[in-house]
Amino acid sequence: MRRFRDRLEGGYRVIRIRRMKRIMFLLFGIFIIVVGALMMVLGGASLSPFFLPLDVFVVVTLYLLIVLSILNFFFRDLEVRYNVRDSQKYLMAKNSQRTALVIIIICVFVGVIVAAPFTEVSANKILSKTGSETLDQVVTRNVTLSFENQDRLALFKSDWVELELESGAVDFQLCEEDDYKVDIVCNNPIVQDSLGLGGPRRLDIPQLGYKQYVLVVTNTGASSSSFLYHIETNVSPAFVGLQPLIVCLIFIAINSVWIGYLQPVRKRYATSSIYSEDYLVEAPAEAETARAKAPVATIPQEEVRPTPRRVPASPPTAAEPIPPPPPLPGRAHPMPKGAFLRELVILLNAEADIKQTEDFLRALIELEPMNKDALFHLGNMYHEDGKHDLALNQYDRITKIDRRNEEAWVRRGDVLLSLNKDFDAIQSFREALSLNPENPDATEWIRRIRRENQGFMAKAIDRSAKHDFKGAIELYDLILSRDPDNVQALLGKGTMYRRLERWPASLESLNRVLEQEPDNLAALHNKAQVFESAMRWDEALSCYDRIIEISPGNYLDWVRKGDVLFELDDSDGALESYKKADELRPESERVKRRIKLLVAPAMDEVVKEFTELPGIGKSKAIVLFEAGFQSIEDLKGASVRKISKTKGISKKMAKKIKEHLEG
């Protein structure tokens, strides 16, 4: 039929044009795929690791589609020109203009989005990663930053990494992930250097193919070091900026020219086309005259019968009493009332009469309080209607009747989530999994909650890095509301409270960690720091004793123990701890200075004078002495800025010292 229609519309010429068009489009599509695949191979495409640079394919495809559009316009013009029927010519021109207009609107919308400066800036800001790290000589002596030079589809690229040292001294190595070893060693590093305080250092990331890189930063200073990092990640130029805008403008231009070219063709055939609104206006007057003279068919009067009106039946009201159950054939007594109500529930539910279904379900439950099916059905209705408390009551009754009803436990957990009772919901899902470890609904809910907790944990760490400690505590509390024994959340919460100097709250969280993991070094370190800040030296000493018992090879713990013993006026014990630290770390100048100062005869008097200053204990007095302040006169002659550069002395504390000395 299609061949005969083509012959009627345009003869053999139209048939040949359309056949040639199909062949040309097929060959051109194959050409686009081949060229796109070749460009992706040249762009570093691989199967292991999987990498498919779509940015190259998209750019090549769009420019080839421009050529294909021009080719399509050429063949469409030939079809219009050699078509026999005017109506078909008009319709083809009208549809082509409409399609071109839609393409122009889409290109304008896309062009505005991709060309707007805020689009690229916002996307790059979201993709880029900025943070800070603090390194010491104990727990976090080394930090590794892992990143890709581009994602596996080449939608965005990491162009460079910038490091800036805030304090201390660090070394860094940039290498591919395959050359990175667990013992913080990079084989064949791309860049290896030291980072000083001279300003930021920018490292360009190679872009050929897909690679995963590791940046290893190692603390080389005598004390803790901190640095800032920024990984600049940008959206591929194929999707934002000038290149997609040029493609959109080309599409807009050629389609606008095409619309203008077809407009005279459309006007020329509008009056003779049956698809045009002008066709009836310009129709010959003879057609109207012939239409007016045409006979009108009539119906004999006796054959016209009035149509009977249908009187709608009055709808049943909910207040009508329940009819008694009808007697069954051959039986003297009627059907039992409970069975009759069950039949009515099924019937009403099929008719979607929710209110009456609920009434009958409640009546059925009054007659049969142990009917699990009725309770389950009523609970589902309440849950769908948003009456979560009522739904929870029904599921609770089912679980009391039958604790092995796994579906009731799952629905109960779903309702509890709607009531924001996440912890109870998790317990319900775990009950269902204890009955059936492969229950898909309970497994999916548990997996989803764990994914959300991981997301909350990452956000809490990010807020902590930005010194938003209260915001981090809110996220940790959200995790603990779902999982009260989450060790990571408890440890993070205790650390945040320590940073906020809320010692009781910090100790409460840290003690809960130690109840589950008595040898958790991070919790013990935080607890010891809380006691030191609160000047509870005996308790701090017990914490360091426990830390050294678990891990005796960390020289910094011996130094801190020596500091606490010195605060307790146990100079001999402090000296013994410093000597043990010196054995573990002979190259540490910090430890040698402590030993030297501790045995110096003049230090005791100076330290005693310093401890009379506001907010200065023995440890801070030693730090001031180590920093070169050998007397009260030295402190009087120093500026607030110089004093505040001493480790552990804030600018606020330095001002108090100066005010005390000058007052």
Q: Splitting the chain (663 residues) into consecutive groups of 10 residues, what average pLDDT does each group show?
A: 41 73 89 86 80 83 89 86 74 87 92 81 83 71 80 84 83 81 69 78 80 84 80 83 86 92 85 58 44 42 38 40 39 41 49 65 81 84 85 90 87 86 84 86 82 85 87 88 85 90 90 90 90 87 90 87 85 84 82 71 71 80 77 83 81 84 77
Shared-domain flag, residues 269 and 184: no
Residue 636 lies in a domain: no
**Integer CA distances (angstroms), 609 to 182, 494, 535, 568, 598, in order:** 49, 35, 19, 17, 15
Whether residue 490 lies inside any domain: the answer is no
Q: Are residues 231 and 247 in the same domain?
A: no
Amino acid at 75: F
Could you tell me if residue 160 is inside a domain?
yes
- Residue 354 falls inside a structural domain: yes
Structure tokens at 647: 């480790």
Tally of structural domains, the chain: 3
Q: Last residue of some domain: 422, 454, 469?
A: 422
Q: Looking at the structure, do residues 108 and 36 belong to the same domain, yes or no?
A: yes
Q: Are 130 and 29 part of one and the same domain?
A: no
Q: Which residues contact 480 (CB under 8 A, 6 or more apart)?
A: 486, 489, 490, 493
Question: Are 128 and 115 in the same domain?
Answer: no
**Domain range holding 401?**
337-422
Q: Which CATH number do you get for residue 172?
A: 2.60.120.680
**Residues 107, 251: one domain?**
yes
Contact partners, residue 522, CB within 8 Å, separation at least 6? 139, 491
Same domain, 266 and 356: no
Amino acid at residue number 370: M
**Which of 422, 438, 460 is the last residue in one of the domains?**
422
- Quick check: is 73 in a domain? yes
Same domain, 70 and 149: no
Q: What tokens appear for 39 in the block?
A: 């460009």
Task: Please report whether residue 559 resides in a domain.
Answer: no
Q: Which of 407, 422, 437 is the last residue of a domain?
A: 422
What is the widest separation between alpha-carbon atoms in the chain?
Answer: 136
Closest CA to 164 of 201, 138, 190: 201
Among 477, 471, 469, 472, CA closest to 502: 469
Residues 114 and 128 occupy one common structural domain: no
Is 507 within a domain? no
Are 6 and 115 members of one domain?
Answer: yes
**Token duo for residue 59:** 């750019």
Total Cβ atoms within 10 A of residue 402: 12
User: Is 293 inside a domain boundary?
Assistant: no
- Does residue 232 sit in helix, strand or coil? strand
Distance of alpha carbon 568 from alpha carbon 561, whole angstroms: 11
66 and 147 part of one domain:
no
Q: Are residues 177 and 230 in the same domain?
A: yes
Q: Which CATH number does the domain housing residue 359 bear?
A: 1.25.40.10
